[in-house]
Amino acid sequence: MALAEEMNASEIEATFPSKHRLPEPISDICRFVSTHGYPISGCFEISKIGMSDVRAWFRDDAAAQAAFLPFGRGACGEVYAIWLTEGLTPERAPVIMLGSEGQLEVLAVDSREFCRLLCLGYSEIGSDDPDSTPSDFAETEPFRDFIQEKYHFDLPATARHIVEMASSRFPKFVDWVEAHQK
């Protein structure tokens, strides 16, 4: 397995319009990639290029742009980010997906739950049916072992519970995005 370009949390944080730091679970993903490479979970990759995509989503709204801390990408250009809503710190804020085809998803109530979601081994986090059996479970075993050594997650059979918990806790995400794009 070829190692990916080393990606540390500070490189991602340097792209943020604020001085926020990545939560520890996201930094742990960076550490995994730096030492083990990919895959993490399917097509998900850690990335420092998401801020330009966030600016494209919210062209004339700097405050809306500043509400996101992008840290990951998908195969089709999806942006995975922490959404700073309700005055939450990055550690307690939800993880969302801004899809390349306009999809808007709240994926996890926080970065810790997002790591739990990644451990399931879906090919396309946020696009795969959360009721389906993950297709890349075996391929993501090294990542799962790395994360489980620290967090000892109870892993559900599917993503349904994790995603439903997040969408019920943050039901206004789509409305918020649409209101800030006008």
3-state SS string for 81-144: EEECCCCCCCCCCCEEEECCCCCEEEEECCHHHHHHHHCCCCCCCCCCCCCCCCCCCHHHHHHH
The rounded distance, in Å, linking the Cα atoms of 125 and 78 is 9
Q: Cα Rg for the chain, rounded, in angstroms?
A: 15
What tokens were used for 161?
A: 């519970």
CA-to-CA dists, residue 10 to 55, 93, 104, 155, angstroms: 20, 19, 27, 29
| pLDDT tens for the chain, residues 1 to 182 | 334 445 688 999 999 988 899 999 999 999 999 999 999 998 999 999 889 999 999 998 999 999 999 999 998 889 999 999 999 999 999 999 999 888 999 999 999 999 999 999 999 988 899 999 999 999 999 999 999 999 999 999 999 999 999 999 999 999 999 999 86
What's this model's pTM, rounded to 2 decimal places?
A: 0.93
| Residue 78 region by backbone torsions, left for phi larger than 0, else alpha for psi between -120 and 50, else beta | beta
